[in-house]
């Protein structure tokens, strides 16, 4: 009976940025739990098609949605593609983001605008598109994917850390408004996870050792480490949790 609370049978999910990494792991896990999934990518669709094939192999329906969330119409195209493919969205995971690390005085305003558009504005637009319909149906789950940098910001990623904090602020601001309609909204903040983005930054052995020294559990996380918390917060098992941010970071955010 307890396991049934984690079932997503009959639900539909849109996971942005789900062609690889954490988003792909969540898309696969949601399908295994019974949900149909819209797999979103920004550019090339080949990786998204591979994840969609895994969703279908789990016996669920999959739709591939290509949309650059940095474009003026990106969020709308992403949403319309998910609706065209699935009919509705019960679960929205705001996972897609862009990270442009460099010393903040060297960053350009174009760098700033790009990160703000993809990480904050697109999230805001997708929230506006998804929440009303969820409220009308009396059930919905929204999950924002933040970062350990909300608690431990990297000096070279000032803007990225700020965008993730902004996303969490929107989550908390909406929690009370959506709760009476049966819609929860929470955050999941990963730490150092073994993704393409992370691997590019820790190729240097000395820097890798430094990063490892920040993680109490002594290991870099896998995308699948984020799946358990996501299933909790996006299923009936998490129906009494809203407005909270869960750090999945091996203890990195601890004081």
Domains of the chain: 3-247 (3.40.50.720)
Cα 154 vs. chain centroid, distance in angstroms? 20
Q: What is the pLDDT of residue 97?
A: 97
Residue 207 appears among annotated catalytic residues = no
Lowest mean pLDDT among 67-76, 139-148, 173-182, 201-210: 201-210
Report DSSP letters for 115-167, one per residue: HHIIIIIHHHHHHHHHHHHHHHHT-EEEEEE--GGGTS--GGGHHHHHHHHHH
The sign of the torsion formed by the CA atoms of 197, 229, 76, 163 equals negative
Q: Determine which one of 124, 160, 207, 240 is catalytic.
A: 160
Contact at 8 Å (CB) between 98 and 110?
Answer: no
Element (H, E) at 245: strand 245-248
Q: What is the pLDDT of residue 44?
A: 83
63-84 per-position pLDDT tens digit: 999 999 999 999 999 999 999 9
Flag whether pLDDT at 201 surpasses 80. Answer: no
Round to whole Å and give the CA distance between 92 and 13: 6
Confidence of residue 199 (pLDDT cuts 50, 70, 90): confident
Q: What is the pLDDT of residue 198?
A: 86
Q: What is the pLDDT of residue 202?
A: 79
Contact at 8 Å (CB) between 203 and 109?
Answer: no
Q: What is the 8-class DSSP label of residue 41?
A: E
Confidence of residue 6 (pLDDT cuts 50, 70, 90): very high
């Amino acid at each position: 009976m307890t396991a049934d609370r984690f079932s997503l049978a009959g639900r539909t999910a849109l996971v942005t940025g789900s062609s690889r990494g954490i988003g792909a792991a969540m898309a696969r896990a949601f399908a295994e739990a019974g949900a149909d999934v819209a797999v979103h990518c920004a550019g090339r669709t080949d990786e998204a098609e591979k994840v969609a094939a895994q969703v279908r192999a789990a016996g669920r329906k999959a739709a591939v949605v290509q949309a650059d969330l940095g474009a003026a119409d990106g969020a709308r195209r992403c949403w319309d593609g998910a609706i065209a493919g699935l009919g509705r969205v019960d679960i929205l995971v705001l996972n897609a983001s862009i990270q442009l690390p460099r010393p903040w005085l060297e960053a350009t305003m174009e760098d700033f605008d790009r990160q703000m558009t993809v990480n904050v504005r697109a999230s805001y637009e997708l929230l506006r598109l998804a929440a009303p319909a969820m409220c009308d149906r009396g059930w919905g789950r929204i999950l924002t994917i933040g970062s350990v940098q909300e608690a431990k910001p990297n000096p070279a990623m000032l803007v990225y850390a700020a965008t993730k904090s902004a996303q969490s602020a929107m989550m908390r601001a909406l929690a009370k408004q959506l709760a009476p309609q049966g819609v929860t909204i929470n955050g999941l903040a990963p730490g150092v996870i073994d993704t393409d983005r992370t691997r590019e930054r820790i190729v240097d052995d000395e820097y890798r050792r430094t990063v490892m020294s920040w993680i109490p559990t002594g290991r870099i996380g896998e995308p699948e480490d984020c799946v358990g918390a996501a299933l909790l917060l996006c299923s009936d098992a998490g129906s009494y949790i809203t407005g909270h941010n869960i750090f999945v970071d091996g203890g990195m955010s601890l004081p």
